[in-house]
C-alpha cells in the first residue's frame, strides 16, 4: 500500500529534522510520538527523554560514551546510516535499547530513546511489561521503552519513519527542557562535560538519573 501525500510530507519533514546534529535535534524531538504497528498490535509512545551520541567524526567533541567511538562495527553499522533509521542494541544480557539515527549518511550519531509516555496501545504495552506498577513507568527508561514497544535487535536498521513505524513531530518546540550528563555512561563520556541528555522538565515519565559506577582500577 502506498503512503498518502500527507504521510509522505510528514516523513520528509521528520527526515530533514533528524539529518541535523543530534545535540540540536534532541530538544526538538521531545514530545514527538513514535508508533510501531507490530504483528501483535500497535503501541505509540510520546518521547519525553533522549540522549545524544556522536561518532568518531567529531574532532572537537569526540564522544567516548558512544558505541561508535572506535569506529564502525557490525553492531553499530546502523548509526552510520541514513537519518530516521533505528539502531537497537542488546545490553547486560537481558535488555534492548532503541535509538533513532541522526545526521547525514556516513556520519555516525543517534538519539537514545530514554523515556516516554505510552499514549496508544497501553493494554499491549502492559502485557509486555507485566511488572510495571503504574502507567507512568511503562516506558520510563530505555529498556522499558523498547520492551513496551516490542523493539529488538531484529529492528536495528529499519526505517522508523516508514510503515510499520511512524514518527509524528510535536506541533511546537517544548518550552521547558532540561539537560544534563548522560545516565550510566562510564568515564569521561558520562561527565558534566557531556550534558547531552535532554528531558521534558517535570514530566513524570522521565527516568531517574544514575551516574555510572566506577570501574575497579
* Domains by residue range for the chain, with CATH: 5-200 (3.10.300.10)
Bond into 164 cis (ω within 30) = yes
Going by the DSSP 8-state scheme, the letter that residue 140 receives in this structure is B
**CA-CA distance, 145 to 207, in Å (whole number)?**
11
- How high is the pLDDT of residue 6? 67
- How high is the pLDDT of residue 191? 86
**CA-CA distance, 131 to 39, in Å (whole number)?**
23
- How high is the pLDDT of residue 189? 84
Per-residue pLDDT of the chain (217 residues; tens, 9 = 90+): 445 666 777 888 999 999 999 999 999 999 999 999 999 999 999 999 999 999 876 555 678 778 887 778 888 899 999 999 999 999 878 899 999 999 998 889 999 999 999 999 999 999 999 999 999 999 999 999 999 999 999 999 999 999 999 999 999 999 999 999 999 887 788 888 889 999 999 999 999 887 666 544 4
The pTM score is: 0.90
Amino acid at each position: 500500500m502506498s503512503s498518502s501525500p500527507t504521510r509522505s510530507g510528514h516523513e520528509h519533514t521528520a527526515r530533514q529534522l533528524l539529518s541535523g546534529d543530534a545535540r540540536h535535534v534532541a530538544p526538538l524531538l521531545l514530545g514527538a510520538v513514535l508508533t510501531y504497528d507490530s504483528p501483535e498490535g500497535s503501541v505509540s509512545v510520546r518521547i519525553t527523554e533522549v540522549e545524544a551520541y556522536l561518532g568518531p567524526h567529531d574532532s572537537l567533541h569526540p564522544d567516548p560514551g558512544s558505541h561508535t567511538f572506535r569506529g564502525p562495527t557490525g553492531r553499530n553499522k546502523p548509526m552510520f546510516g541514513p537519518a530516521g533509521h533505528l539502531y537497537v542494541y542488546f545490553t547486560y544480557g537481558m535488555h534492548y535499547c532503541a535509538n533513532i539515527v541522526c545526521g547525514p549518511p556516513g556520519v555516525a550519531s543517534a538519539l537514545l530513546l530514554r523515556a516516554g509516555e505510552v499514549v496508544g496501545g497501553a493494554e499491549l504495552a502492559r502485557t509486555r511489561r507485566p511488572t510495571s506498577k503504574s502507567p507512568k513507568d511503562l516506558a520510563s527508561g530505555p529498556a522499558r521503552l523498547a520492551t513496551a514497544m516490542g523493539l529488538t535487535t531484529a529492528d536495528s536498521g529499519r526505517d522508523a519513519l516508514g510503515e510499520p513505524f511512524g514518527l509524528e513531530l510535536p506541533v511546537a518546540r517544548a518550552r521547558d527542557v532540561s539537560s544534563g550528563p548522560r545516565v550510566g555512561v562510564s568515564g569521561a563520556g558520562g561527565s558534566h562535560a557531556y550534558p547531552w541528555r535532554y528531558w521534558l522538565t517535570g514530566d513524570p515519565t522521565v527516568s531517574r538519573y544514575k551516574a555510572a559506577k566506577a570501574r575497579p582500577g
